[in-house]
Amino acid sequence: MYYNTIMDKDDVLNFRVPSDLKAALRCAADQDERSMSTMAARILREWLTDKGFYEAESRVAHRKRSRR
């Protein structure tokens, strides 16, 4: 699955969240032994993929093409 692929982190996204949401993210990240940033990206990727806004395979294919 796409969780095991190494994703290039080539852009920055900053946004404010309620403190309880941040605490829940920190708890989930700690439990999964990830940084909060990596956990947030994973959650976003899963949601966007489930809703049809993101295709994990297209990201991998794009990276392979751009390295040529």
Under a CB-based contact definition with an 8 Å cutoff, are residues 15 and 26 in contact?
no
Asked if residue 44 lies in contact with residue 1, where contact means CB atoms within 8 angstroms, the answer is no
Task: Tell which wins on pLDDT, 8 or 10.
Answer: 10
Q: What is the pLDDT of residue 2?
A: 46
Residue 7: which residues within 8 A CB-CB, separation 6 or more?
Answer: 41, 59
How confident is the model over 9-68, as pLDDT tens digits?
Answer: 889 999 999 999 999 999 999 999 999 999 999 999 999 999 999 997 665 545 555 555
Angle at which helices 19-31 and 36-50 cross, to 10°: 100
Q: What is the pTM of this model?
A: 0.70
4 or 39: whose pLDDT is higher? 39
